[in-house]
C-alpha cells in the first residue's frame, strides 16, 4: 500500500514541488550560493528515488506536467523580449557578434581542454554542447555518438554553476550593462541562467532569453564544423 502511494503520480509530483519550495526557503535564509534551490532539489530527488528504488522512467512519467509548465515558461519569455524589443532592435550587430563569439568559445574551450587530457571522442562530443538547453544539446550530440546521460548531467551542471557564480564573475570583470549581463548568463548557462537573469531584472531576463535561443541555433549549426576539423 505504502509502496503504491510513493510511486503514484500525485505523490511524486507533490514531493518534487515541495522539495523545490523547501530548497528556495533554505537558499533565501542562508544566502549560500552553493545551496541553489535547483541543485538542492535535484540532489534530494535523486536520493529519494535511490532510497525507495523508484526508476527514473516512473518518476519522469509522473512529473510530465512540470515539463509542460517549463515549456510555457519558455514561451512566456517571448513577452518579456517583446517588452524590451526597442532596446534589442538597436543592438543587432553586438547581439550577432556576441552570439557567434559565445558559441565558438563555449564549444572550443571544452573541446580543447578535453583533448589536452586525452578524453575519448564520444565524451568530447557529449560535453561540447554544454551551454545550450538539454533538448538541443542531446539533439546535437546523440546522433554523433554522444552519451545522453553525460550530456544531460554536464548541461545541468553548467546551468547551475553559471547561475550561482555568473553574476559575481560579471561584476568582478566590471560588466555593468544590464543587456550585457543578461546576454552572458543566457548564452553561457541556458535556461537556469536565464531564470537567474529574470530575478535580476526585466532587461537582463529578456536578453538572456534571446541569448539562450540564438546560442542554441548557433551551436546546432557550428557544432558539425567543429567536430569535423578539431577532433
Does residue 113 share a domain with residue 50?
no
Does the structure show a pLDDT above 80 at 73? no
pLDDT band at residue 65, thresholds of 50, 70 and 90? confident
The residue from 35, 62, 89 where one domain ends is 62
Q: Are 194 and 227 in contact (CB under 8 A)?
A: no
Does residue 215 share a domain with residue 143?
yes
Tell me the average pLDDT of the chain: 85
The answer as to whether 71 is a domain residue is no
Does residue 161 share a domain with residue 92?
yes
Does residue 86 share a domain with residue 52?
no
Tell me the Cα Rg of the chain: 19
For the chain, what is the domain count?
Answer: 2
The residue from 17, 32, 62 where one domain ends is 62
Q: Is 163 exposed, middle or buried (0-12, 13-18, 19+ CB in 10 A)?
A: buried
Q: What is the mean pLDDT of residues 140-157?
A: 89
Does residue 46 share a domain with residue 145?
no
Cα–Cα dist 201/178, whole Å: 8
Q: Are 112 and 91 in contact (CB under 8 A)?
A: no
For residue 57, the enclosing domain spans: 1-62
In this predicted structure, what is the pLDDT of residue 154? 92
Whose CA is closest to 192, among 178, 176, 216, 209? 209
Taking the model in full, what pTM does it have? 0.81
In this predicted structure, what is the pLDDT of residue 231? 61
In this predicted structure, what is the pLDDT of residue 3? 63
Backbone angles phi, psi at 87, to 5 degrees: -70, -40
Cα–Cα dist 68/216, whole Å: 20
The answer as to whether 116 is a domain residue is yes
Amino acid at each position: 500500500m505504502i509502496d503504491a502511494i510513493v510511486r503514484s503520480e500525485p505523490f511524486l509530483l507533490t514531493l518534487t514541488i515541495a522539495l523545490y519550495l523547501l530548497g528556495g526557503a533554505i537558499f533565501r535564509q542562508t544566502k549560500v550560493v552553493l545551496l541553489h534551490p535547483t541543485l538542492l532539489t535535484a540532489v534530494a530527488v535523486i536520493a529519494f528515488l535511490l532510497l525507495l528504488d523508484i526508476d527514473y522512467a516512473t518518476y519522469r512519467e509522473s512529473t510530465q506536467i512540470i515539463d509542460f509548465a517549463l515549456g510555457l515558461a519558455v514561451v512566456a519569455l517571448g513577452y518579456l523580449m517583446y517588452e524590451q524589443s526597442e532596446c534589442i532592435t538597436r543592438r543587432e550587430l553586438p547581439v550577432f557578434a556576441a552570439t557567434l563569439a559565445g558559441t565558438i568559445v563555449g564549444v572550443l574551450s571544452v573541446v580543447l581542454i578535453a583533448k589536452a587530457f586525452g578524453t575519448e571522442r564520444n565524451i568530447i562530443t557529449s560535453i561540447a554542447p554544454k551551454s545550450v538547453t538539454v533538448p538541443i544539446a542531446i539533439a546535437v550530440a546523440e546522433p554523433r555518438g554522444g552519451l545522453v546521460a553525460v550530456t544531460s548531467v554536464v548541461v545541468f551542471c553548467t546551468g547551475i554553476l553559471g547561475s550561482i557564480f555568473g553574476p559575481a564573475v560579471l561584476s568582478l570583470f566590471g560588466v555593468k550593462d544590464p543587456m550585457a549581463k543578461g546576454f552572458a548568463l543566457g548564452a553561457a548557462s541556458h535556461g537556469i541562467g536565464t531564470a537567474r537573469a529574470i530575478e535580476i531584472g526585466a532587461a537582463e531576463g529578456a536578453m538572456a532569453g534571446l541569448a539562450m535561443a540564438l546560442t542554441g541555433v548557433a551551436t546546432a549549426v557550428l557544432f558539425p564544423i567543429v567536430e569535423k576539423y578539431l577532433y
